[in-house]
Amino acid sequence: MDLELKGKSVVVTGGGSNIGRAIVLGFAEEGANITIGDIDEVQANKVVKLALEKGAAGVQLVKTDVTDLNQVKAMFAAAVKKFGTVDNLVNNVGWDQLMYFTQTTPELWQKIIQINYLAVLNCTRVALDLMIPKKRGTIVSISSDASRQGEPREAVYGGVKAAVNGFMKTIARENGRDGIRCNVVCPGVTIPEDDEEVGKTSLWVNRDAMFTPEQLEKVARALPLRKVGRPRDIANAVLFLSSVRAGHITGQTLSVSGGYSMIG
């Protein structure tokens, strides 16, 4: 199936590691022009090289702290300068620290809110300024099934991701008249294939701090599909929602989690 993404200009935040990396490489295989916004230049530059090898029409890295609106504006300006426009945005950046709510601090709350929500507001606002005049564009935000089910040790993160879900539905309603589609993908537990897929700022830089192998086996056994997710599973959904094949889909929240949440 031709997704008709060849030559499209795509911005992917957090494109250096894990899910973001897989999304970048997926767009590369479709022949897109890709701007990666990431704070980890070492890891993201590895992805730039891989993306070119996989067929990307063009790739650039713009070091970006997506919680800073001025840096976000500079990232989009670089995308427009190099590729002429921005057709697709993927709000992928995310971060959490697993602990029970009573163990958390206000400082941690603010960090989780800024990385997982403020960053989405910043990037979406700047993207809309470019997309509305053209009367076309897609925005896909990566949320989490923790926003739909409730997960121990992810109280603030799950709440913030629920805010992303609601925000994207509103943006879809407000901007559908402008030909702009906005959707959300909610991963479940999604683990990288190997250590080469993660950088020093990734949640998965120390896998055992997230889940022990025994815990991952238990998670897999509890899922209907009996397996945890891999980054490419999420990327496949993002590519479809960004494509013309999903041209009548907007305002949706799609779980890609092996059946963990079955809502609707």
- pLDDT tens by residue, 215-241: 888 889 988 899 999 999 999 999 999
- pLDDT tens by residue, 16-51: 999 999 999 999 999 999 999 999 999 999 999 999
Residue 263 has pLDDT above 80, yes or no: no
The alpha carbon of 127 is separated from its chain's Cα centroid by a whole number of angstroms, namely 15
* Mean pLDDT score across all residues of the chain: 94
Residue 133 has pLDDT above 70, yes or no: yes
Average pLDDT over residues 185-192: 92
- pLDDT tens by residue, 50-83: 999 999 999 999 999 999 999 999 999 999 999 9
Architecture of domain 9-256: 3-Layer(aba) Sandwich (3.40)
According to the model, what pLDDT value does residue 203 have? 61
Rounded Cα gap, residues 225 and 239, in angstroms? 22
100 assigned to active site: no
According to the model, what pLDDT value does residue 206 have? 64
CA distances from 139 to 153, 235, 256 (A): 29, 14, 17
According to the model, what pLDDT value does residue 214 have? 86
Of residues 213 and 135, the one with the higher pLDDT is: 135
Residue 209 has pLDDT above 60, yes or no: no
Nearest one of 194, 249, 186 to 46, comparing CA atoms: 194
- pLDDT tens by residue, 139-173: 999 999 999 988 999 999 999 999 999 999 999 99
According to the model, what pLDDT value does residue 196 have? 72
CA distances from 185 to 49, 142, 230 (A): 26, 5, 14
According to the model, what pLDDT value does residue 200 have? 66
Q: Model-level pTM?
A: 0.94
Residue 100 has pLDDT above 70, yes or no: yes
Domain positions in the chain are 9-256
CB atoms within 10 A of CB 45: 15
